[in-house]
A and B are shown apart, each in its own frame.
Chain A
């Protein structure tokens, strides 16, 4: 091959564009700083910030699966909230069975009970995801309107199933001993459970990034988001990949449900559909299909919701929607638009 043909030429991305690409990362500290200025009192701010991050992490856990499912197969799943609710009910049931462990002063037993509850919830919601994908989603690939109708129907069925199994009333449960109470730092009180939620969320985010960047299955998911046909032409069954992603996303929603339930200490059959409003906002803010964008979006929503609830409770409800509007005016495709071949 002639030398002239292969002269290395690679386009450098201009610095300005690089900064522009990284910009969303700075939004979270910027919002935290703005919160500090607006709130004034550092200890209230610290309490609210940890609360906001904890809420953000839980939303992220619930939203991450949904965003990848959309990115990979263009499937809009309005039934995702069902996994949140079912996860919470399964988790609470397990915790009720293990009441001896959760009431025990032993931290190990407390945590073991929570861990078992989480694993049970994830197992059940993962399997539910399998059934949901095969029965409800698979027949309507590529047809958005039908997807919306059919997955909403699935959500309603799931809620009715919860009534059948657990009855119509809400469930209460107190967090295990070890997860009650707060650490006091100066004048700021930081609930232990919120720190745990932040830790779990961070670990999951790092693990998810690692899987997406360093493992073959992660590479396949990213490649599939961009060009599913080519992934198939290389010999991979993308439907099977999608099923794995769907089940994982459902299990994560179940995890989020348990965590959210423990946070509120009360769960209802329709908790899933309530929280899905926030989840969808986060997925849209992040850029449909982007895990990083979803993470940043979740942090922004969590922080903003807590700050405004403190500063101006009346506007708290609309603040997240306002956030979405502002971000979409700035970046119509969300924080990290996903590259699509078609």
Chain B
């Protein structure tokens, strides 16, 4: 069971300044497929992703990726091991063009033409606005660009923080389709998502957070089919977000 986890957090604590945000997170992300991280606002989902990426450093506990401890590695090192982050605020370089954003995202060399055309198929606006300033893109287009940057090079694991936040239903569907296709390419995805319909349609395993801890983890099928469990784990948050 331990062996097939691509990423595992055990007893991870994260402090931000004087605040004790993560209070012992235990999380396993199996290789391949989509793991969804659920939880109400302020539960610590974003902090978990940022801690994995090394943007915050865990004060206690271990983060293992591919059987190596990465807890105290610097962010660029973690990136080079094959983890990409699509942050909650998308992290678009608005002063640069779409093309320049993509060029920088391909950190290990020139972009692979085949991969790029695949991405342009997944997200047509990337091609349409190739030479436009990224600052002029709409929110949904920025979100696509942010995911596109994360996958321009093959990655082992992609951390995606609420890719559907504030998007129209049609774009949510497009994003879901793209993630589903990404899943087919042997990329493991750790997805933070408040939209349970979306999350349950794409997720294989699920973890639910509250107050800086994981309070439930298991298969998505089990949770999606068990209304009482949903109610118990996140009753309030589901109502608030649907």
Contact = CB atoms under 8 A, between A and B. Distances in A.
The answer to whether A and B assemble together is yes
A5 B174 contact: yes
B226 interface: no
A2 B103 contact: no
Given A219-B103, A223-B95, A237-B76, 17 more contacts: A2-B170, A2-B173, A5-B171, A6-B124, A6-B174, A8-B129, A10-B136, A13-B136, A216-B103, A216-B104, A223-B104, A226-B94, A229-B75, A229-B91, A232-B74, A234-B104, A235-B80
A230 interface: yes
Contacts of B105: 234
A5 B136 contact: no
A216 B105 CA distance: 11
Interface in A220-266: 220, 222-223, 225-227, 229-238
10 A-B pairs with least C-beta separation: A230-B91, A235-B79, A235-B107, A232-B75, A5-B170, A5-B174, A223-B93, A1-B174, A6-B124, A233-B85
B177 interface: yes
B238 interface: no
Given A219-B100, A219-B104, A233 B87 contact: yes
Contacts of A227: 91, 93
Question: Per DSSP, are chain B's interface residues mostly helix, strand or loop, or mixed?
Answer: helix
Which has the most chain A C-beta neighbours within 10 Å: B76, B80, B136?
A: B76
A222 B94 contact: no
A233 B84 contact: yes
A236 B96 contact: no
B95 A339 contact: yes
Interface residues of A, number: 30
A229 B55 contact: yes
A2 B178 CA distance: 11
Contact of A233 (B79, B95, B168): B79
Contacts of B242: none
Interface of B: 53, 55, 74-76, 79-80, 84-85, 87, 89, 91, 93-96, 100, 103-105, 107-108, 122-125, 128-129, 132, 135-138, 140-141, 149, 168, 170-171, 173-174, 177-178
Which has the most chain B C-beta neighbours within 10 Å: A219, A223, A230, A232?
A: A230
A329 B21 CA distance: 42
Contacts of A15: none
A231 B104 contact: yes
A16 interface: no
Contacts of A229: 55, 75, 91
A230 B89 CA distance: 10
A6 B124 CA distance: 7
A233 B76 CA distance: 6
Contacts of A13: 136
Nearest to B90: A230
Given A216-B104, A235-B107, A222 B95 contact: yes
Contacts of A10: 129, 132, 136-138
B104 A11 contact: no
Contacts of A219: 96, 100, 103-104
Given A226-B95, A227-B91, A341-B89, A234 B149 contact: yes
A232 B79 contact: yes
A314 interface: no
16 contacts: A1-B124, A1-B178, A2-B174, A8-B129, A10-B132, A216-B104, A223-B96, A226-B94, A229-B91, A230-B93, A232-B76, A233-B55, A233-B84, A235-B107, A236-B107, A341-B91
B53 A233 contact: yes
A204 B3 CA distance: 56
